[in-house]
A and B are shown apart, each in its own frame.
Chain A
């Protein structure tokens, strides 16, 4: 009897370790975000003119429910980063910012949507520095998964 004890404990371990996970379904899927479709804006290396107004457009999807999205446009005058669009844009020489554009906004997506085309209005004042900029877009779902994409753009006169 006594010699059986260790085997019993071992058996208990194996059983608990292998017991199945009958939990609720977990959301393991990240949302997606892309500008790579007809009408997506801006595209990699796109040139935007000062003084104009543009509509940023991107498609976001999720398997369950989208939650929020954000946009962050900042200068890349120091070449500190690059985008993930696969294109290599011609960068202007490194320079010091004087009055660079800083555009940061975030928005909620109401209504447990699984798909949406987001639209953000972007005004480019005449006074901002021209040059290389970086446009970072991201989206979250209601679980807390976050997906980013970024696009190198150029603001010209």
Chain B
């Protein structure tokens, strides 16, 4: 049985980079041996004083390691990847003193938990090493190096995910198996996640409704649980980060420990940053000119404090972990124009670049999750339970607007949302050919509102989904997976009236002063089927994936029921209670070749939306405030695009990588027929060169990475967007492991220069693009990871 799973994984795993750990002992004395060479399949390590070795980023599931040391017999071992079970104890290798015969030892992973099956989605596994190497100011900026992933940035500390040109609620963010509920409230609202607490992410490009629920119409950012620590270990690290552009200071410290069966983890993170600098001293927006003091983008400072703690228990067939986390942040927004609204103020914004004045927002996201996995023979039961409480407050200077008198306080909007989630899944191994997964997802959400501004009504939402997917393994190379899902959702919106009166003309010519109604009591339900079929073919180093699916997304409360002024965007937003659920049909193909010298990945897609929901700028003005009316409407949309990446290693020292991404979108019906979709990412390419230097005394594995990004101009726009010019920007980073403290533990150092030439450029998908604010200027950053 266990042996079978070993082979099974070899055939089907997605080659998730993993770690091999081991300890080499003298077979006769059982003392650790230092300096032993471990190599094979392009992997290499040397044992420490305690005889231990680690090989990171192993991409094959089965490899042969050759262990050699002077005075001992060479030994070869077969290592089979244990995929999900990071719990495997370090491989113990006993080296016999010379003159003994060469022996072949087979080491197979012992496991009760089998590898769950997966649909052949176009996905990318992101590990801790990727996170450390590419870490930027927000989680999504870190991930945006992956072809097909872009971000909507809001200043220097926040960003929203965009996958192949689709963002907002079309991308599901999952953390610890539970859908992360944040960022839906507005274009200026980012994810609420401590990126230092993230160890591995699975990023799915394309619809993944079957497994992740109906909102995953564009893709998924699945933040997976960190690996379970090794038995009887205690590990800690401190990460320190300093940046010059926004004078950022960040510190994060984490501890993981495990006795035999109990384990815990904890992490504290604090970041504080000033206004960020842009390579210009004035911003001209429409006919306005804003002079910047010392290149600082006024009032974009922020701070963040995060804490998390988890406690878990693991034995051979049972794992449970309960995680508590809290993310708290305060971010300022550009003072001269938030959204599109131009403002004057008496506030002396330039007196300090660290203070956070109006407008700003405060967010707090508290979360408890429990993840339990039970192995029962051929069944594997996974139960994920979650509670999330998030509060967001937007504060701005109280000023009268239209008929609204001056409010008493600065609290423009307050959102308070509680979300309860329950996911249950049974993973059944029927026989060698058939594998079945069935499950349900339940979510209950309540949103209440406050403050003097109105945008989204108070609402309750209940969603339930049931799914089943099946894997048919035809032979070692070919398998076919199919799945079906049914979702049901109920939304109740609550009525809302203005707190001030507006004059309204009656039919008889008289005028009444009324409290205008902004939202109505409504109860709406939605249901739909999603389905997908995929084929996975793997032969030697080459993998082909084809996936065809239909997925859908329920309209959100603001799409259905908003009716009010968004002063930040200077527009009147009107929901449409008659919106139908969005449905999308997509075909994805992926070709992947992982040779010894060259790695090629090509992943095109074609996508069609029956009724894409979109906020359409009309040619009318609303009668109460005289602002342009934007209405939520639906249109047919046709899209295609894809990503290409090629990587090669020259002279074992130089790694070259090139990747490109492109998305074409066209509305084929409705008011904006012929136009693209809002926030369409332009064609872009990224070229990366990595050079490995020789070790120099205590400095090991030093490497230099040069990134060069070329982005074409974006001329595909839709009102009210502007054409964005193309740009080229270069980043340089240097990495090394420094053995400063002792010989076994190294300090990881990173020195990075972003935007080396201080290029002034605009990012078409940035929130501040609307008001002609360029991207941040040159930035020097230093980060250190110190183990203890």
Residues of A within 8 A of B (CB): 5-6, 9-10, 12-13, 16-17, 23-26, 28, 67-68, 70-72, 74-75, 78-82, 84-86, 97, 102, 104-106, 138, 140-146, 148-149
Contact = CB atoms under 8 A, between A and B. Distances in A.
B287 A145 contact: no
A80 B346 CA distance: 9
B675 interface: yes
30 contacts: A6-B591, A6-B602, A9-B602, A16-B640, A17-B641, A17-B664, A23-B674, A26-B674, A28-B723, A67-B620, A72-B625, A75-B400, A80-B397, A81-B344, A82-B344, A84-B286, A104-B625, A104-B626, A105-B626, A106-B621, A106-B623, A140-B620, A140-B628, A141-B619, A143-B619, A144-B616, A144-B672, A145-B720, A146-B628, A149-B287
Contacts of B616: 144
Given A9-B591, A144-B619, 9 more contacts: A9-B589, A9-B602, A12-B604, A26-B674, A70-B627, A79-B346, A84-B287, A143-B672, A149-B287
Contacts of A142: 619
Contact of B602 (A10, A78, A79, A84): A10
A81 B570 CA distance: 14
A68 B626 contact: no
Most buried by B among A24, A67, A79, A106: A106
Contacts of B346: 79
A6 B593 contact: yes
Contacts of A71: 626
B288 A84 contact: yes
Contact of A97 (B400, B621, B644, B723): B400
Nearest to B401: A74
Interface in B333-347: 342-346
Chain A facing B: main interface SS: mixed
Interface in B595-640: 600, 602, 604, 616-621, 623, 625-628, 640
B642 interface: yes
B549 to A, nearest CB: 20
Contacts of B664: 17
A20 to B, nearest CB: 11
B49 interface: no
B520 interface: no
Instruction: Tell which of B620, B628, B683 has the most Cβ of chain A within 10 Å.
Output: B628
B719 A144 contact: yes
B524 interface: no
B675 A140 contact: no
A68 B600 CA distance: 53
B303 to A, nearest CB: 28
A71 B288 CA distance: 19
Contacts of A13: 602, 604, 642, 644
A81 B342 contact: yes
B519 to A, nearest CB: 22
Contacts of A25: 674
Given A81-B342, A144-B618, A28 B717 contact: yes
B402 interface: yes
Nearest to A82: B344
B402 A74 contact: yes
B628 A102 contact: no
Contacts of A149: 287
Nearest to B623: A106
B19 to A, nearest CB: 30
Interface string B306-349: 00000000000000000000000000000000000011111000
B12 interface: no
A86 B288 CA distance: 8
Contacts of B673: 24
B27 interface: no
B616 to A, nearest CB: 7
A145 B674 CA distance: 15
B666 A23 contact: yes
Contacts of A5: 591
B772 to A, nearest CB: 14
A145 B621 contact: no
A44 to B, nearest CB: 11
B621 A26 contact: no
Nearest to A17: B662
Contacts of A26: 674-675
A79 B400 CA distance: 12
B105 interface: no
Contacts of A86: 287
B756 interface: no
B403 interface: yes
Contact of B399 (A78, A84, A138): A78
Contacts of A148: 286
B452 to A, nearest CB: 16
B7 interface: no
B671 interface: yes
A24 B667 CA distance: 12
Contacts of B589: 9
Interface string B372-416: 000000000000000000000000010110110010000000000
Contacts of A85: 287
Interface in B342-365: 342-346
A141 B230 CA distance: 66
B671 A144 contact: yes
A144 B617 contact: yes
A104 B399 CA distance: 18
Given A23-B674, A80-B344, A106 B626 contact: yes
Interface string B694-725: 00000000000000000000000101100100
A140 B593 contact: no
Contact of A24 (B342, B640, B674, B683): B674
Nearest to A96: B406
A10 B343 contact: no
A97 B399 CA distance: 12
B669 to A, nearest CB: 12
A137 to B, nearest CB: 10
In order of increasing CB-CB distance, the 9 nearest A-B pairs are A84-B287, A67-B619, A106-B621, A144-B617, A140-B619, A70-B621, A104-B626, A70-B626, A146-B628
A3 to B, nearest CB: 10
Contacts of A16: 604, 640
Interface string B657-678: 0000010101000011111000
Contacts of A74: 400, 402
A61 B473 CA distance: 65
Nearest to B672: A144
Interface in B674-697: 674-675, 683
B399 A140 contact: no
A85 B343 CA distance: 16
B751 to A, nearest CB: 36
B547 to A, nearest CB: 15
A28 B623 CA distance: 27
A42 B676 CA distance: 38
Contacts of A70: 621, 626-627
A80 B341 CA distance: 11
A149 B619 CA distance: 17
Given A17-B662, A144-B618, A80 B399 contact: yes
A142 B628 CA distance: 12
A68 B621 contact: yes
Nearest to B717: A28
A105 B505 CA distance: 13
A91 to B, nearest CB: 10
A58 to B, nearest CB: 14
A1 to B, nearest CB: 13
A81 B288 CA distance: 11
A84 B287 CA distance: 5
